Amino acid sequence: MDKDSMVELKKRFKKMSVVLDENSFSNAILSLKEHQKPAIVIKNTSFLDVRSFYLSNLRLARLCIQAKLSTVIREFTIINEPACIDFFEHYFDDLDLALAQLKYATQLLMKISTYFIQLMEKDDCNTLDRCKYLKVNAIGCMYTVAMRCLPILAYIEKVRQHMLAQDDDPTHENAPPSHIVLAKEDCTIPHTSAFEVEKAAGLVDPDTLRWLEELEEKHGFRMHDDCAQEHPLAA
């Protein structure tokens, strides 16, 4: 890679977003519109409206997390450009694997979202409690996928930082990035074909579920009479 190409490459890396960390995903959940409002007390409300609210919440959560991962994938498509491909293959041969893992993650988010939406649209989902339960578990599963991306994102951030520190002159003896490796045990995002979405809820950390349940209690729907939560709402 010649000097002009290296200078241009550094400029593009400087424009990239800081790669995501754990706070990025928890803040994404907290920033959802429904988590900015107090609990909504409902009375004599059509269940179709209630379910529509929770379906919307679920879709928005998926889109929010998916968008963050997609931004990283999109910005790092630079590695496949003709002027850069040899350089990145030589120095960062794990980068393709890292980006593939993020792509799998975005596909899993869609698969999880679709599965829980289908459950919420079934006839037996006819109580507020059931909607809350499905929403919490769906977002818990998606958040767990995001957490599994953290070692991969940390590796990508190291690549970004290394590129920013590169000397503009490619003939200069830059320190080899031997310390920047992606451990295979950190690649825990399965291909969608190997992912059993029906068992996904069992992978969610109990603390994550408690956190999401607390958010739902503070900001979700609440029946006018709390005892009524055990009974189906009017269709």
Span 99-125, pLDDT tens digits: 999 999 999 999 999 999 999 999 999
- pTM above threshold 0.95: no
The answer to whether residues 147 and 68 touch, using CB atoms and an 8 Å cutoff, is no
Long-range contacts of 27-30 (CB under 8 A, 24+ apart): 28/64, 28/65, 28/68, 29/61, 29/64, 29/139, 29/143, 29/212, 29/215, 30/215
Instruction: Give pLDDT, residue 235.
Output: 43
pLDDT of 157 strictly over 50: yes
Span 40-93, pLDDT tens digits: 766 767 888 889 989 999 999 999 999 999 999 998 888 777 777 777 777 777
Most confident of 17-21, 109-113, 155-159, 165-169: 109-113
Confidence grade of residue 7 (pLDDT, cut at 50, 70, 90):
confident
The three-state secondary structure class of 194 is helix
Confidence grade of residue 178 (pLDDT, cut at 50, 70, 90):
low
> Under CATH, to which class is 3-36+45-223 assigned?
mainly alpha
Span 125-153, pLDDT tens digits: 999 999 999 999 999 999 999 999 999 99
CB contact burial 45-62 (16+ within 10 A = b; e otherwise): bebeebbebbbebbeebb
Instruction: Give pLDDT, residue 164.
Output: 81
Instruction: Give the residue-averaged pLDDT of 17-31.
Output: 86
The domain spans of the chain are: 3-36+45-223
pLDDT of 171 strictly over 60: no
- DSSP characters over 13-42: HHHSPPPP-HHHHHHHHHTSGGGGSPPEEE
Rounded Cα distance, 157 and 72, in Å: 10
The answer to whether residues 165 and 85 touch, using CB atoms and an 8 Å cutoff, is no
Rounded Cα distance, 54 and 102, in Å: 27
Confidence grade of residue 226 (pLDDT, cut at 50, 70, 90):
very low
Q: What are phi and psi of 42, to 5 degrees?
A: -115, 150
Q: Is 189 left (phi over 0), alpha (psi -120 to 50) or beta?
A: beta
In 3D, which of 151, 156, 145, 121 has the Cα closest to residue 61?
Answer: 145
pLDDT of 230 strictly over 70: no
